[in-house]
């Protein structure tokens, strides 16, 4: 099953880019990353414009997962079980959508098959993609019985 992270903003921090590449490359197949930017600046409709850019990049037939602080919190085992179940159901691809600094437009969580929270703390949106990549690798490790995940 292919997995693509579609995120608002371009990561320019070399340390975060290196972490992303490390965890994304450990996944089989490697995680895809699509970065989108709305260069029109601050305005009341910015989140709506970002949502449009994100949705335009979702591969056809993908199951949508929206990362949102108001979403469901799963432990790593439950996340692995969810992904495994989707694979067993024949889901060909999962698109994980990460908003910008102001979060996601409400229309994205409404369309998502899962709205996922990484916890009650607020995380920098550029770090969220790294944390997600690590959790996707961890989920693969759990599913395959690899010792990376030790609970």
Count CB neighbours of 20 within 10 A: 23
One digit per residue, pLDDT tens: the chain, 151 residues? 999 999 999 999 999 999 999 999 999 999 999 999 988 877 888 999 999 999 999 999 999 999 999 999 999 999 999 999 999 999 999 999 999 988 999 999 999 999 999 999 989 989 999 999 999 999 999 999 988 877 5
Count of alpha carbons within 13 Å of 99, Cβ hemisphere only? 24
Structural domains of the chain ordered from first start = 2-144 (3.40.1280.10)
């Amino acid at each position: 099953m292919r997995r693509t992270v579609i995120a608002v903003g371009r990561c320019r921090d070399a340390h975060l880019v290196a972490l992303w590449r490390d965890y994304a490359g450990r996944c089989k197949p490697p995680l895809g990353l699509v970065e989108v930017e709305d260069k029109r600046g601050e305005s009341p409709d910015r989140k709506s414009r970002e949502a449009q850019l994100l949705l335009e990049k979702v591969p056809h037939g993908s199951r949508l997962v929206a990362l949102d602080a108001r979403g469901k919190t799963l432990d790593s085992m439950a996340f692995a079980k969810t992904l495994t179940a989707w694979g067993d159901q024949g889901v060909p691809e999962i698109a994980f959508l990460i908003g910008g600094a102001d979060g996601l437009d409400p229309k994205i969580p409404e369309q998502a098959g899962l709205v996922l929270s990484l916890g009650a703390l607020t995380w920098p949106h550029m770090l969220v993609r790294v944390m997600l990549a690590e959790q996707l690798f961890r989920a693969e490790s759990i599913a395959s019985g690899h010792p990376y995940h030790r609970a």
